[in-house]
Amino acid sequence: MKRCLGILGLSFLLVACGDDNASTNEESKGNVVATTGQIADAVKVISGDHLAVTTLMGPGVDPHLYKATQSDLTKLDNAEVIFYNGLHLEGQMQDIFNQMAEEKTVQAVAENLDKNKLLEDEEDATLHDPHVWFDIDLWKEVVDVIGDTLVEEYPNHKEEFEANEATYLAKLDELKEYTAGRIVEIPSNQRILVTAHDAFNYFGESHGFDVRGLQGLSTDSEYGVKDVQNMVDFLVENNIKAIFVESSVSDKAMKAVIEGAKEKGHDIVIGGELFSDAMGAEGTEEGTYLGMYKHNVDTIVDSLK
Amino acid sequence: MRALEALVVQNLSVAYDKKRVLENANLIVPKGHLAAIIGPNGAGKSTFLKAVLNQLPNKVGEVEILGKAFSPKSLVVGYVPQRNAVDWDFPTTAFDVVLMGRYGSRGLMKRPTKHDKQLAMQALTSVGMEDYADRSIGQLSGGQQQRVFLARALAQNAEVYFLDEPFAGVDAATEKTIIDILKNLKAQGKSIFVVHHDLQTVKEYFDYTILLNKTILAAGKTEEVFTAEKLQQTYGGNLFMMQAL
Amino acid sequence: MLSGNLLWVLMGTMLLGIAAGITGTFSFLQKQSLVGDAAAHAALPGIALAFLITGQKELPILMIGAALTSALSVYCIQWIVTYSKLKADAAIGLVLAVFFGIGIVLLTIVNRSPLGNQSGLNDFIFGKAATMTKADLTWLFISAAIIIIVSLLLYKEWKLMIFDPVYAKGIGLPIEALKACLTALIVMTIVTGIQAVGVILMSALLIIPAASAKLWTRRLSTMLIFSGITGGIAGLAGTFISSLRTGLSTGPIIVLFAATIFFISYLFSPKAGQLSKYIRKMKFRKQEKLS
């Protein structure tokens, strides 16, 4: 049903669907387009100043529901390389990627990871949880994939790119240690992370957290009164102090859950806002992968300890 | 002190989209008559009625009913309009319809009283429809419906009545019933104005006749006004009912 | 068990059902149900604009935006019918499509802005009854109360206005003001209802209870009561059913339940139902045979 609306909305926007052939790039920089902020961040870090990197889905944008517009298609058209997450994160854009793959390099950075390392979708065993960026080890592999692709595409920058990548991987290791260090501040029976949708399973797996989301893996999934009730019961039974809203998802549901818990005599607060599918504003600390991750960790630990 | 006339119209003109529909109509009708308003199609009869009842804000000229301009609060006028705008599917009974005649006097938002309901029932009985009080209005025949609408106007307990083509689509028996009621009203001293379409029955039903075709061409006692010459003036062309005269 | 979230949603949808049943009856009798559909769809751009202009996602602000565009659409339809050659059905279709289309485009813009997704505006398309809280209940309660009170006050005027507009005008009823009042009430119903069932399904709640009630009675007063009750029951039952399993959206189930009530009325209503018509026909035939 929501797809029909997507098509309706899309058709309004693609009304004058002419072939918008941009003139040949007079820019000397290579042109790369990434879907999510996290991917774009990795691309920028590795490529330094040498490439023009465009992010399709900015801060606060939900990739599960995102529908490409005419201007997005133009950006993708002009790109030399396209990076996307894959595993159905960008649920509404698969056809466009397939189409683009015929003309240029299109890399689904999470698709080719070892499936045994990925978490499955509880409801459909053939699908996997796409939120791999919350498992730092998996993300290091993704960074590797990005690095390899960029080196292949732009071989004259090979040394610099590889050096940047190595530095970045080291920083990711630091982040992992930082995270482990902070998490021990939370008593082990309080290590339960409750958020708006199931974006944090990898976080939970890699850092020893129990994770619960109101909605499923995609914000597209339907939830009803029973889901809200189940969540309220879970919070009350496990005596959870704080739950978290996400920057790219409506917080009305979380607020309803809190009120429901209060009604049962259990006081609970919103511990803070986490970055789930999107990162913070560009130019800020939270606009980078490292900053975003650290923000999440700090917010979670400070609320639950 | 001069007795109030039933209807006084002075220099009444109405225009729609720059087209003059009524032009300089003048009329004085004394009380206690059962008057027919006749004229060809498109002569402006319905417009005239609307103008008299103050429904047309763009009219020019003066209208007085019993010495006052029409206003539902200051004056009680019984009104039986044409039936083509009515929603027959509407869930309402014959009694309900007649009760609607009391809405004007009650004012907005007040509920009808026992007295209102009594008057409604009396009115319904006077048109012989008391047995149909609980029937759905849509289930009644054309003639029965028209009697109910007449009852609605009667429930208003007015001094002056205006009826717009009350005999359209109505059977002979109902027509007789209605005209008897109207004659009864006249006998009580009320004034009745009827936009009428059947020239055959004018002499039999009405003691006063008003000839209208974009203006008032003649008005007065039927025997004086309802003549071949005046009708020719009003209708123009050939009149096939010359024999009726 | 019956406390907290489930109770709030039950109460909220019940109040909504009652309000929609009452105002829906008047709009149904005016033969303007599809105008209600257009008005409901037209609420969408208003919500998006309210968010884009003020940056606030608080419910009252969104509701004001919704009310403005919803009311505007009704007047657009009237304007088109009066001043162009288009008839009502074309005017309604046109206004519905244009307003709703603009709404979708605006939502796309909202969804690309940093605070857009968190605002939850998308939930107004299909409704999200599951997240109703006490505050929402308060609004619904006030709206329902206003609707019931105004309907009681203006009952006989609206009745006459819809049944015989010429006579109503003739005895001096302020028709334009009365119509505007009814439109305002319908817009109010729409604006409070779309939180629960969304813009797309709202018109169903305005139409189905009224249509069902008409099959049972020939008095307006009874029809209003039946319609309100049907709407209320649909709200209660729909919410209850949707609370039995996870992943069930409340709005569509409410509408389905209302449709079931209509279907049952259509078949089994003693006055106008198909079954009783059939029985009467058979009885008649039997009588014919015997004589």
Each residue's pLDDT tens digit, C100-131: 999 999 999 998 888 888 888 999 999 999 99
Q: Is C166 on the interface with B (CB under 8 A)?
A: yes
Indicate contact of A with C: 3+ CB pairs under 8 A: yes
Domains defined for chain A, CATH in brackets: 26-178 (3.40.50.1980), 187-304 (3.40.50.1980)
Same domain, B34 and B96: no
Which CATH number is B187's domain given?
3.40.50.300
Each residue's pLDDT tens digit, C148-158: 999 999 998 99
Indicate the average pLDDT of chain B: 86
- Domain end position, chosen among B134, B157, B180: B157
Domain count, chain B: 2
Q: How far apart are CA A198 and CA A125, in angstroms?
A: 16
Whether the predicted interface score ipTM is above 0.95: no
For residue C11, give every residue at least 6 positions away whose Cβ sits within 8 Å of its Cβ, in sequence order, or none. Answer: C137, C140
Same domain, B184 and B227: yes
The reply to whether residue C166 touches residue B85, judged by beta carbons under 8 angstroms, is yes
Each residue's pLDDT tens digit, B114-154: 988 999 999 999 999 999 999 999 889 988 999 999 999 99
Query: What per-residue confidence (pLDDT) applies to B2?
Result: 52
Better-scored residue on pLDDT, C255 or A220: C255
| Among B189, B232, B234, CA closest to B4 | B189
Query: What per-residue confidence (pLDDT) applies to C118?
Result: 81
Query: What per-residue confidence (pLDDT) applies to C170?
Result: 83
The mean-pLDDT minimum among A22-26, A35-39, A177-181 falls in A22-26
Q: How far apart are CA C130 and CA C10, in angstroms?
A: 10
Dihedral sign of CA atoms C83, C84, C89, C94 in order: negative
Q: C168: burial class by Cβ within 10 Å (0-12, 13-18, 19+)?
A: buried
- Domain end position, chosen among B157, B176, B210: B157
- Domain end position, chosen among B157, B182, B216: B157
Q: Is the pLDDT of residue B238 over 70?
A: no
Of residues C113, C125, C243, nearest to A226 (C-beta)? C243
pLDDT band at A17 (very low <50, low <70, confident <90, very high): very low
Dihedral sign of CA atoms A161, A163, A165, A171 in order: negative
Torsion of CA C218, C221, C223, C224, to 10 degrees: 160
Q: State the nearest Cα–Cα gap between B83 and chain C, in angstroms.
A: 8
The reply to whether residue C116 touches residue A61, judged by beta carbons under 8 angstroms, is yes
Domains defined for chain C, CATH in brackets: 4-290 (1.10.3470.10)
For residue C280, the number of C-alpha atoms closer than 13 Å in the C-beta half-sphere is: 10
| Among B141, B118, B116, B121, CA closest to B131 | B121
Same domain, B69 and B186: yes
Q: How far apart are CA B8 and CA B48, in angstroms?
A: 13
What is the secondary structure of A35-95 as a DSSP string? SSHHHHHHHHHHHTTSEEEEESS-TT--TTT----HHHHHHHHH-SEEEE--TTTTTT-HH
Same domain, B15 and B121: no
The reply to whether residue A264 touches residue C4, judged by beta carbons under 8 angstroms, is yes
The reply to whether residue A253 touches residue C3, judged by beta carbons under 8 angstroms, is no
Each residue's pLDDT tens digit, B3-43: 678 888 888 888 887 788 888 889 999 999 999 999 888 88
Of residues B96, B100, B109, nearest to C154 (C-beta)? B109
What is the secondary structure of C30-56 as a DSSP string? TT-HHHHHHHHHTHHHHHHHHHHHH--
Q: State the nearest Cα–Cα gap between B105 and chain C, in angstroms.
A: 9
Average pLDDT of span C90-107 = 96
The mean-pLDDT minimum among A11-15, B198-202, C85-89 falls in A11-15
| Among A107, A102, A88, A81, CA closest to A25 | A81
Query: What per-residue confidence (pLDDT) applies to C244?
Result: 93
Q: Which domain holds residue B22?
A: 1-76+159-245
Asked whether residue B114 is assigned to any structural domain, the reply reads yes
Of residues B73, B93, B109, nearest to C153 (C-beta)? B109
Each residue's pLDDT tens digit, A160-218: 999 999 999 999 999 999 999 999 999 988 899 999 999 999 999 999 989 999 998 88
Which tokens is B49 given?
Answer: 């009625």
Q: Is the pLDDT of residue A19 over 50?
A: no
The reply to whether residue C131 touches residue A263, judged by beta carbons under 8 angstroms, is no
Same domain, B71 and B165: yes
Better-scored residue on pLDDT, C196 or A10: C196
Q: How far apart are CA B189 and CA B171, in angstroms?
A: 28
Q: DSSP secondary-structure letter at A121? A: P
Q: DSSP secondary-structure letter at A128? A: B
Same domain, B149 and B177: no
Same domain, B4 and B62: yes
Q: Is the pLDDT of residue A6 over 80?
A: no
Q: Which residues of A touch C242 (CB under 8 A)?
A: 224-226
Q: State the nearest Cα–Cα gap between C263 and chain A, in angstroms.
A: 24
The mean-pLDDT minimum among B50-59, C11-20, C202-211 falls in B50-59
CA of A245: which chain C residue's CA is closest? C118
Percentage with pLDDT > 90 across chain A: 70
Each residue's pLDDT tens digit, B65-100: 888 888 776 667 888 998 888 888 899 999 999 998
Q: Which residues of C touch A13 (CB under 8 A)?
A: 105, 108
pTM: 0.86
Q: State the nearest Cα–Cα gap between B128 and chain C, in angstroms.
A: 22
Q: How far apart are CA C247 and CA A214, in angstroms?
A: 10
